[in-house]
Structure 1
Amino acid sequence: MDHSLQLKYQRNYSIIINDCDVSLFYYFDYGERYKQINMEFQHSHRFHEIMIPLSPDAIHFIEGVPYSLEEGDIVLLPPTILHRTEYPAGPPSKRLIISFWYPKDLFGMTDYYLPLLSIFNAQTPIYRFPEEIRRQVLDIIDEIYTFSRNHDYLEHPEQRLIIHSMFIQFLYAIQQNQDKNLYTNKSSGNSATQKIYSIAYYIHSHYEEELSLDSLADKFFLSSCYLSHQFKKVTGFTLINYIQKVRITRARDLLLSTNHPISKIAQSCGFQSFSQFNRIFRQTYDQSPSAMRSSSTTITSQQSNVEL
C-alpha cells in the first residue's frame, strides 16, 4: 500500500455491492492503467461513474474535449456521456473508478437524491477543491475503504447499507462545496488543435443533424482539405469515422435504455438509412441491433437510471 497518495490504495482491490442488473449497485475499482492500453475511442455507461486519478497528469476526454487532470481531482460522469482517459508514458497511473447505479424512486426518496446527483450535470463536471476541503471529501472515500477491509460486508446486508450511507455523505460533501471548485482546464495544444476539439464537441452536440466534411469546414471557416488532415492528425480518426462512432454509440445507449423502435433510434441518431445503421452497428458490435436488445434483460432498469 502506498501511503503517499491522497487516497488509501491497494492495487486491484475492489468493493462490489450487487451488480449492474440489480436496482442498487456499487463498484469501487482501485487499479492501474498504462499509455499502452489507452482506450482508442470514447465509451459510455448506463450508470453513473466517478474517476479519481491517484497519479498526476492524466487527460480525460468528455464529449470530444480533453481536460487535464491532477491527482485528487474528482471527475463526475452521468449515464450515457462519452468519455475516455488518456494516460501518459512512463510508470503506471493509479486511479479509483467508482461506478454506481440508483434506480428511480430509490427507497421512495427520489426528490432527496436529485440534488445530490445534480453535481454530475455541471458544465464541467470536474472538481478540484482547496486542500482542506479535498481532504475532507476524500476522507469519506478512505472511510469506505477501511470499513470494507475490516468488515465482511458481503455477508451482512446492513453493512452494505452503511457503505451506501457513507457514499451519500461523499456526494453531499461535493454538493455542499461545489461553489469552491478551483478547476480550470489547461490549454490543450495550439489554436489549430483547439479548433479541432471545438469541432469534435460540435459533433457530439449535433450528431443527429446532417454532418459532412464540407458542411463542417464551411461552418468553422476552414478548407475541407485542411479540416480532413488536421482532424485525423489531432483525433486519430477521419472526420466521417468519428461522426459514425459518436452516432453508433448514442444509438446503442438508446437501444439499451429505451423501448423506442430501432428504426426511430437510427433516424434520431443521424443515420440516413436503416441499412446504413444496421451495417455500421454490426461492424462495431459484431451483432445486429435487435440481437443486442433481445439479449439485454435490463431495459426497464436502464431506462429508470437515465431518467433519474
Structure 2
Amino acid sequence: MEHCHFNLSRPLVYVSCGEFSAELGWQHHRYHHGQDTEILVGLSGQVFLQVAGKPYTLEAGDVLTVFPHETIVGARQTVTKSSFFWGHVVAPAVVDTQPSAPNGLTLPRFFHLQVQEKAVVNIHQLLDVSHSQYLVPHAADYQATMLFIELANDYAQQRTANPLHQGISNQVREWIRTHMAEQPTVAAIADQFHLNASYLTRVFKRDTGQNIQEYSNAVRLDYARYLLLTTNDPVASVSQQAFFSDPKYFSRLFKKKLQLTPSQYRRAYTHTFLNNQQVDPGVDVREQVRQLEKERQLPAQR
C-alpha cells in the first residue's frame, strides 16, 4: 500500500475544507489534484470513490488520502444518505510504499480509525477555525496540521499494536475505552487482567503518565466533546450519554480540563462549512491550490 510522508519542519498549508452531505444518487465529480493533498473522512453512510484507478468505499470512520497529482472521481452513485469531511492542504510530500518516515508524519492511502471521536473533534475545530476570523495568521494551517497529526497517530498506533505482545497498559487502556459505561474500579480492572491492583496502578502510571481514574475520565470527556459537536442534545443528556451520573460533576470536570463549560465549548465551535448537492467538495479548491503553488513554488515529489 502506498503512503504519503510529510515533513513537519513547518506547518502544512491549509487550503480548504468542508463537511459534505450527499443525498441518494449523488456521485463525486472528477477532480484532478495539483500539488495539494486531500483527506476524506467518512462520517455516515457509504460513498463510492475511485482514486488513481482503484475503487474505495468510504464509510463512517474510514480515512482516504488522495496524493498530489492524482485524480478522484465517483465510482458510482450513493445508495443511502451519506456524509463525509474533506480537506485540502499543500505541503512537500513524498509518496512511496514505506509505512513510516523519520521526522514527519505518514498517512496511508486508506485505513479505518481506531478512535473516531478524537478525529471528529479535530475536524470540527478545523471547520471552525478555518471559517472564523483570527488575528493570528496561519491559524488554520496549525489546526489542519493537528488534524493530520491525529490521523497519523491513530494509524501509527494501530501499526505498532500487537495483540499477542503489546504491553499491559495498552490492553488496559483499550479495555477501559470499550467498557467506559461500566466505570469499573481499579480492583475490578486488575481482576479482569489477573493482576495485583497496586502493581497495575504503578505500571499504568509509569507507562501513560495518568492514573486509571484520570484516563477513564479523559476517555469519557473525549466522547462528551464528540457529542457536543455532533448533536444538539442538552448538556445534561450529553453528560448521561458520556456515562457521568452527576451533570454538575461532569461540568466541573469538563471546565477544569478544557477551561470552558460544555455550553461554551459547543458555542466556540459552531462555524462549519457545509456543502450540498450544488456545491461539490473540491470545486472551490482548484484556484486556491494554483495560487499557493505559485507562491510556494513547491516541487512536485512523487
- TM class by smaller structure: 0.3 to 0.5
Greater relative contact order: 1 or 2 (C-alpha under 8 angstroms, separation 6 or more)?
2
Higher helix content, 1 or 2:
1
Judging by fraction of residues, say which structure has more strand: 2
What TM-score results when the alignment is normalised by the length of structure 2? 0.45
Using the size of structure 1 for normalisation, the TM-score is: 0.45
